[in-house]
Amino acid sequence: MTEATNSATAAPEMLSWDSKSRRVVMLYVPLACFLLILLFPFYWMGVTAFKPNAELYDFAQHNPFWITSPTLDHIKHLLFNTSYPSWLWTTMLVSIAATFLSLFASTLAAYSIQRLRFRGSQYVGLAIYLAYLVPPSILFIPLATMVVQLGLFDTPFALILTYPTFLVPFCTWLLIGYFKSIPYELEECALIDGASRLQILRQITLPLAIPGLISAGIFSFTLSWNEFIYALAFIQSSENKTVPVAILTELVTGDVYQWGALMAGSLLGSLPVAIFYSFFVDYYVSSLTGAVKE
């Protein structure tokens, strides 16, 4: 009788141990590996940005994964001996302007396709999304001709007007799906009360679509901030370059790489995107998990 009782009590403990071990192997170990792979480049970037050159180029005497004597020399060199503040300002200006322009066009296009229900609207939405799949390495050739003919070459307006070519298609497709989740009955009631389409869009649809707009805005801002091909092709003067292009072309002279300044520029350049995302992460998650409850 006692042995049966002991075996009965031991069985749940064994099952609990098996479930815990299975959870560790199936969940926590892959999650830890994923975080390590994802965060290690940022850790290496931060270590290199604050490591003096004596430690940076002498792995025999110093640990490559740790800093013995932190320094701010690389950041000082970046801020006071280069045009990095100008690069950062240009990148910020281009990203914000391109994001607002893309959101404005995408909102009107997505609302028209989803709510006005004209003939062939579904095919128009599909065609807009397919335009996003065209590689920028192909588009920048005809766009370069247009930029030169309009007299916008080597100006931030060249990037502000060309970035929406790949931002608008994806944002439109994203907002179409979000507008679809908003109950159409709300707009029907407003139409019965005499409201116009613009009034419905401004007073009903857009306030309910704020999470979707923020999600599209985060995508547009991040993609504009990190864009490289157009910024490299359309900008030549040092003061008008964006951060991704400038830190590669201005901090590399021949075969000499200023690794400390390069990593410091990458670290400072990634902070605005991280700060921008941290403020709107709740809206971003809500746009991915659901929209408006009827």
Phi-psi region of 154 (alpha: psi -120 to 50; beta: other; left: phi over 0): left
- What does the pLDDT read at residue 106? 92
Q: Bigger pLDDT: 253 or 228? A: 228
Return the higher-pLDDT residue of 271 and 93: 93
Across the range 167-196, mean pLDDT stands at: 84
pLDDT (0 to 100) of residue 190 = 83
Q: How far apart are CA 258 and CA 248, in angstroms?
A: 10
Lowest mean pLDDT among 11-25, 143-157, 189-203, 231-245: 11-25
State if pTM tops 0.75: yes
Question: Is the pLDDT score of 285 beyond 50?
Answer: yes
User: Amino acid letter at 271?
Assistant: L
pLDDT-based confidence at residue 292 (cuts at 50, 70, 90): very low
Q: Are 214 and 280 in contact (CB under 8 A)?
A: yes
Alpha-carbon gap, residue 153 to 1, rounded angstroms: 90
Output 101 or 120, whichever has higher pLDDT. Answer: 101
What CATH number should be reported for the domain whose range is 74-289? 1.10.3720.10
pLDDT at 1 over 70: no
Q: What is the pLDDT at residue 294?
A: 39
Question: How would DSSP label each residue in 2-68?
Answer: HHHHHHHHHHHHHHHHHHHHHHIIIIIHHHHHHHHHHHHHHHHHHHHHTS-HHHHT-TTTS-TTS-S
% residues pLDDT > 90 (the chain):
15
Q: What pLDDT, on the 0 to 100 scale, is given for residue 49? A: 87
* CB-based contact 98:224 (threshold 8 Å): yes
